[in-house]
Structure 1
Amino acid sequence: MATIALNHFLSFFSLEALDGRLAPSENQLKRQAIIKKVGPQSRWSTLEFKFYGIVFAIVVPLMFKTAMDASNETNANYTRFAHLLSNGWLFGRKVDNSDQQYRFFRDNFLMLCGLIVAHCSLRRILTPLLGIPKRTYFDFVFGIVFIIGAHGTNSLRILIHVLIIYGLAKYIPSNKIAVIAVWVYGISTLFINDNFRTVKFGISAIDNGFSGIISRWDVFFNFTLLRMLSFSLDYLEKKRLKTPPNDKEILDLSYLDDRQRLEAPLPLGEYNFLNYIAYLTYTPLFIAGPIITFNDYIYQSNYQPLASVKNYKRTLIYFLRLLFCIFVMEFILHFMYVVAVSKTKAWYGDSPFQISMIGMFNLNIIWLKLLIPWRLFRFWSLLDGIDPPENMIRCMDNNFSALAFWRAWHRSYNKWIVRYIYVPLGGGGKYRIVNSLFVFSFVAIWHDIELKLLMWGWLVVVFLMPEILATMTFKRFEEEWWFRYLCGFGAVINIWMMMIANLFGFCLGKDGTLILLHDLFKTYSGIQFFILSSGALFVASQVMFELRESEKRRGIDVKC
């Protein structure tokens, strides 16, 4: 009975429960090749991993306690950030609802749930009632109504960018010039919106009219930009291949896998204005994604729905995982006020351990505040019959590789970057570092026009270099017994560098990061903490290695 319960628990938190794309390959040869890469026996029952279990049992609760001590009423700095706390609903506790992004989602959660019910119900009622032949027709009409409700007259600002990008892709005769023009204008929109998002039209009805439920239209425009670029680049790629431009081609549009759908052999006629608008304004994914390419969206909408959207058991498990994450987030916000501490820099007198936990749980909150909306919107999309990629497939703390971390964090965006930037630039070939520099510069600018984030992007590339060089140098020793422990030491260095880069970019800022580094290496307690925490990270890395090995024994290798 205990074994059955454990198997159900592990299945609930497995990768394949999140996304069918992550399930073991149906190709037996490929699956066996993955399994052969690892030993047949797991290490969970060995003395070594029993010791690691004891370390986990001690360290993890201590981390939670330390974060609470550094941010609760008992801390001497409490009065500096108490004004940012609100009345909560758990055990009479205050809640830290001071993060603007998550507060918007949290305060409008019930309205979003109502919109999900309305959208899915209307499709199921109106499609047979009106005899709507294609899903994209419904998406086109509902999307326009939704965007006007969301952004009001500001929709016109979005429409200007939408029409310009469409015109550049459709009407510039040279494919190469069109690609360059689309990219130049696309990136320019980020700067245009940052500086001119409130410029008046000079027409009173527009300037003083209804500005929508979400007046800051530019906040969510960045996701629309990715979709505009996806449509344009997919169209230009199709056009370059010189496929006959008619809808009567004999095409093989039977089941295509995730990779094949990126280059789905769609008729050139599918790249029309109606499908363009339907794709840009597809309501479940409009606000924040996950990102699905135009080719994939049209394939799933008008040709071959994926079997995964009819797997109701998996969709239910996905929903339960979403609820679990929401309750974890609520627990953290009610018992660890680390966001408010970071906003007020209220860490005076705190130990290096406490400052590091303030930073670490801040990063966990950032992970959760992105994961929860993304999973809600993907759940909405699954209910509606479209299966986009899962954005977060690993817990933020279950990462030891900078390269793998970026493959698992905002996974649909990563796949978008690989398809439209990294591979066209040459991928991981001769200019891998330069290509990575371009990629992370775009990532930083896309997130926000801010020097701090641009520096963060470059810092990430610098931190990628040691891992790339170490992998190239030591890969030939991977069969040696000591290789796993050497990788563990490398993982500790990697984790520290990733933490410092992200603490600087998203949590503690320059001041807090410098204080942490000073205390770590110039105080006795800091050095002691650094040594002990590095040991704990080494243990964590060995557990992470074995988790990946366990997945490979089932034929899963997601390379992150």
Structure 2
Amino acid sequence: MSSLKDGFKHVGEFFSLDTLDTRLAPSANSAKKQNVIKRASTPSRLSSPEFKFYYLVFVIVVPLMFKAAMDASNETNPNFPRFQHLLSQGWLFGRKVDNSDQQYRFFRDNFPMLCALIGIHVSLRRILTPVLSISKRSYFDFAFGVAFLVGAHGVNIAKIGFHLTVNYVIGKFIKDKKTAIWATWIYGVSTLFVNEWYGNCKYGVSFMDHGFKGIIPRWDVFYNFTLLRMISFNLDFIERKNKLNGLEEKSDQLVNLDDRERLVAPLPLKDYNVLNYVAYVTYAPLFIAGPIVTFNDYVYQSNYQQASTVKDYRRIFLYLLRFVFCLLVMEFILHFMYVVAVSKTKAWHGDTPLQISMVGMFNLNVIWLKLLIPWRLFRFWSLLDGIDPPENMIRCMDNNFSAFAFWRAWHRSFNRWVIRYIYIPMGGGGSFRILNSLLVFSFVAIWHDIELRLLMWGWLVVLFLLPELAATVVFSRYKEQSWFRYLCGLGAVLNIWMMMIANLVGFCLGKDGTLQLIREIFRTFSGVSFFVISSFCLFVASQVMFELRESEHRTGVDVRC
């Protein structure tokens, strides 16, 4: 019996939040930790008759969900000939693999090369740092980053260099604070449009136009992340310069700063130089897709004090195992559910509402995994190299019931970046909370891509935040009532439906596919029956999610998502 308990303990540790990121562990402040514990409902409901019924629902429904997705996308489906040309030869049990998503295909096809690059980079750091007696890590990052950029983009480094130079000049040489901030934002956002329209234009010089374009000729694909770092450097410098405003710098303040304090680390003004700027922007482990570290945080960890987590090799090894687990889950889905190919060809004619909805849902899971897997590989690389960036995905996509909480957990480092540089400067969650959210999601949509459907997605997200915000204001005073948990469950069902619709429009089925799904649901008796049954299942799932959050609270964990 004790061995079984130990086994569950190890599994719990493996899937725990603080295995992903120590920022998610209980607060070191005992008073804050106790306040979180006091908020939790006691005792646990996980062994109650109510939850045993919920477990039975899970045992029946989850396999049916997998079966429906497989029936809608496998060889037995009449629509299979419409999308089979998008499938490639796989490696699992002789099955084909759905490698049709362009973004993930790039990562999957280049995975061996990325692993080799990680080995080269980490080895060179370990070998050259003591040999050359490099006093600051950013010196190595500068040299490797420039070489990495040349190998990745070849002569197109000139276009990136142009943007870096203009941004640096704006931040360093415009004296007026407001003018510098506005110029940084105007230039930054305008470059997204300029790159979209003219990013592949020719130089007009023969050796540049026909020269080496690097392993990745499309330099603009990764520019969006570069832009976030460019803006971070400027705004961190402007903030620091105006905070000092003639005051004396004190280097003794740069000791034992925690994650939040590093965002506003009191760096000397001399650290905001060209070398650190280029080293930060081109930092190889995080250059392609992040996670995003602010300039202050990067320089502090590089040149002053590394986070304790980068020396905890057992934790880093567990993080690697979590990455491998997610990688294998993705491979299973791509080999047994060809939902991406189905959505690309809109090959769902004659499918049931359950099958169409599962095509949409597993598409969203693929989107979650195709982002999570590269981010975790790049964060693992960064941890090995001695820099601890925030974890980007801390919840499974299916473990969400709140729109606000969902966006706190999805692309978390970008969320923190947006809050620091847009949401809080615009007033945060005050009187203009919805207007600020609209501004944030408009920027997020444009940053992702210059497409109307993504702008529609951003506005839909904000629109769908309103019911949750209103319900929270109206019903929060009843939270001590026994029925409040069930009322929250109904609200969670509504939230989940709205979040799925917004993301299906923006990233999966598109407007036409989503409208067809909704029509299929409501125009037939079987469709309405599916909607009622699935809503009940979502209610059950929400109750389990509530209790999982409460279980975290009992240990002092409160990640607000």
TM-score range relative to shorter protein? over 0.9
Residue 276 in structure 1 maps to residue 277 in structure 2:
yes
Residue 265 in structure 1 maps to residue 269 in structure 2:
no
Letter in 2 for 1:160: F
CA contact (8 A) 1:251 1:266 kept: no
Distance in structure 2 (CA, Å) of the matches to 1:357 and 1:199: 42
**More deviation, 188-197/35-44:** 35-44
Distance in structure 2 (CA, Å) of the matches to 1:444 and 1:252: 38
Letter in 1 for 2:181: V
Q: What residue ranges of structure 2 are gaps of 5+ in the alignment?
A: none
Distance in structure 2 (CA, Å) of the matches to 1:31 and 1:202: 62
Q: 2:47 aligns with which of 42, 45, 52?
A: 45
Distance in structure 2 (CA, Å) of the matches to 1:304 and 1:244: 26
Letter in 1 for 2:487: L
* Aligned position for 1:253: 254
The secondary structure found in structure 2 opposite 1:425 is coil
Distance in structure 2 (CA, Å) of the matches to 1:504 and 1:438: 20
**1:395-414, Cα deviation, whole Å (9 max, x unpaired):** 00000000000000000000
Q: 1:141 aligns with which of 132, 140, 143?
A: 143
Distance in structure 2 (CA, Å) of the matches to 1:484 and 1:254: 44
Q: 1:121 aligns with which of 116, 120, 123?
A: 123
What is the CA distance between 1:457 and its match in structure 2? 0.4
* Aligned position for 1:226: 228
For 1:101-112, what aligned pairs fall within 5 Å after superposition? 101-112=103-114
**1:10-50, Cα deviation, whole Å (9 max, x unpaired):** 11001000001001111111000000001231111100000
Residue 436 in structure 1 maps to residue 437 in structure 2:
yes
Distance in structure 2 (CA, Å) of the matches to 1:529 and 1:142: 55
CA contact (8 A) 2:251 2:268 kept: no
Letter in 2 for 1:419: R
The secondary structure found in structure 2 opposite 1:25 is coil
Distance in structure 1 (CA, Å) of the matches to 2:527 and 2:436: 37
CA contact (8 A) 2:292 2:390 kept: yes
Structure 1 pair 339/367, CA: closer, same or farther in 2 (3 Å)? same
Residue 238 in structure 1 maps to residue 240 in structure 2:
yes
* Aligned position for 1:486: 487
What is the CA distance between 1:2 and its match in structure 2? 1.1
CA contact (8 A) 1:17 1:314 kept: yes
What is the CA distance between 1:522 and its match in structure 2? 1.4
CA contact (8 A) 1:251 1:265 kept: no
What is the CA distance between 1:243 and its match in structure 2? 4.9
CA contact (8 A) 2:363 2:508 kept: yes
* Aligned position for 1:332: 333
Q: 1:156 aligns with which of 130, 136, 158?
A: 158
For 1:95-106, what aligned pairs fall within 5 Å after superposition? 95-106=97-108
Scaled by the length of structure 2, the TM-score of the pair is 0.99
* Aligned position for 1:394: 395
How many residue pairs align between the two structures?
Answer: 559
The secondary structure found in structure 2 opposite 1:36 is helix
CA contact (8 A) 1:67 1:361 kept: yes
CA contact (8 A) 2:251 2:267 kept: no
Letter in 1 for 2:104: Y
* Aligned position for 2:410: 409
* Aligned position for 1:35: 37
What is the CA distance between 1:244 and its match in structure 2? 4.8
* Aligned position for 1:9: 11
* Aligned position for 2:475: 474
What is the CA distance between 1:245 and its match in structure 2? 8.0
Distance in structure 2 (CA, Å) of the matches to 1:69 and 1:252: 61
What is the CA distance between 1:250 and its match in structure 2? 3.7
Distance in structure 2 (CA, Å) of the matches to 1:225 and 1:315: 29
**More deviation, 61-70/253-262:** 253-262
Distance in structure 2 (CA, Å) of the matches to 1:222 and 1:280: 12
* Aligned position for 2:169: 167
The secondary structure found in structure 1 opposite 2:76 is coil
**1:358-413, Cα deviation, whole Å (9 max, x unpaired):** 00000000000000000000000000000000000000000000000000000000
Distance in structure 1 (CA, Å) of the matches to 2:247 and 2:128: 32
What is the CA distance between 1:242 and its match in structure 2? 2.4
Distance in structure 2 (CA, Å) of the matches to 1:62 and 1:78: 20
The secondary structure found in structure 2 opposite 1:309 is helix
Q: RMSD across aligned C-alpha pairs, in angstroms?
A: 0.9
CA contact (8 A) 1:67 1:358 kept: yes
Letter in 2 for 1:482: W
What is the CA distance between 1:169 and its match in structure 2? 0.7
Distance in structure 1 (CA, Å) of the matches to 2:47 and 2:297: 43
CA contact (8 A) 1:245 1:267 kept: no
Letter in 1 for 2:445: A
The secondary structure found in structure 2 opposite 1:548 is helix
**More deviation, 235-244/445-454:** 235-244
Scaled by the length of structure 1, the TM-score of the pair is 0.99
* Aligned position for 1:512: 513
CA contact (8 A) 1:245 1:268 kept: no
* Aligned position for 1:197: 199
Distance in structure 1 (CA, Å) of the matches to 2:205 and 2:246: 45
Q: What residue ranges of structure 1 are gaps of 5+ in the alignment?
A: none
Letter in 2 for 1:395: C
* Aligned position for 1:213: 215
**1:398-436, Cα deviation, whole Å (9 max, x unpaired):** 000000000000000000000000000000000000000
What is the CA distance between 1:249 and its match in structure 2? 3.2
Q: Percent identity between the aligned chains?
A: 68
Distance in structure 2 (CA, Å) of the matches to 1:508 and 1:178: 41
Distance in structure 2 (CA, Å) of the matches to 1:79 and 1:244: 71
Distance in structure 1 (CA, Å) of the matches to 2:84 and 2:251: 66
The secondary structure found in structure 2 opposite 1:251 is helix
